[in-house]
Amino acid sequence: MNFPQELKYTQDHEWLRLEGDTAVVGITDFAQKELGDIVFIDITTVGQHFDKGEVFGSVEAVKTVSDLFLPVAGEILEVNPEVEKSPELVNEEPYERGWMIKMRVENPADVDALLSADDYQQLVGA
């Protein structure tokens, strides 16, 4: 399993990469393996503000639907158009082309409170 060191992680299996005051968010390699074949991404929250931990969308796999939780407070700026058309990218490249959203981070210091790659790896027992 892949745990990129430069990313931050949540206990709900999302990852975050900070780029200035914008963050790219997706689900982890562990999460996509647990879900199985992803067939649909449902994120209709562009332009909306959410607090940390609030549901901003869902991901549907062959056998289940799972909520997506925002890692830190902020506004959803963009949904990845590639995963809307080809949701299997989340299975194939969860940290690259399979990202879910870009968001404006309300307080960049909140990112520091997220899990490191090593902490996340311990959480999932890998």
Domain that holds residue 41: 8-106
Cβ neighbours around 122 below 10 Å, total: 11
Give pTM, 2 decimals.
0.95
Question: Both tokens of residue 75?
Answer: 């506004």
- Establish how many alpha carbons lie within 13 A of residue 109's alpha carbon, considering only the half-sphere containing its beta carbon: 0
Distance CA 39, CA 88 (A): 6
On whether residue 94 sits in a domain, the answer given is yes
Q: What is the average pLDDT score of the chain?
A: 95
Tell me the per-residue pLDDT of 51-72, one tens digit each, with 9 for 90 and over.
Answer: 999 999 999 999 899 999 999 9
28-51 pLDDT, tens digit each: 999 999 999 999 999 999 999 999
Average pLDDT over residues 12-35: 95
Query: Looking at the domain assignment, is residue 114 inside a domain?
Result: no
Q: Would you say residue 65 lies in a domain?
A: yes
Q: What is the CATH number of the domain that holds 19?
A: 2.40.50.100
Is 125 within a domain? no
Establish if 21 belongs to a structural domain: yes
Number of domains in the chain: 1
Banded pLDDT at 21 (limits 50, 70, 90): confident
- Quick check: is 120 in a domain? no
pLDDT attached to residue 108: 86
- Is 124 within a domain? no
For 102, the enclosing helix (H) or strand (E) is: strand 101-105
Tell whether 38 is covered by a domain: yes
- Spatial separation of the C-alpha atoms in residues 86 and 91, rounded to whole Å: 10
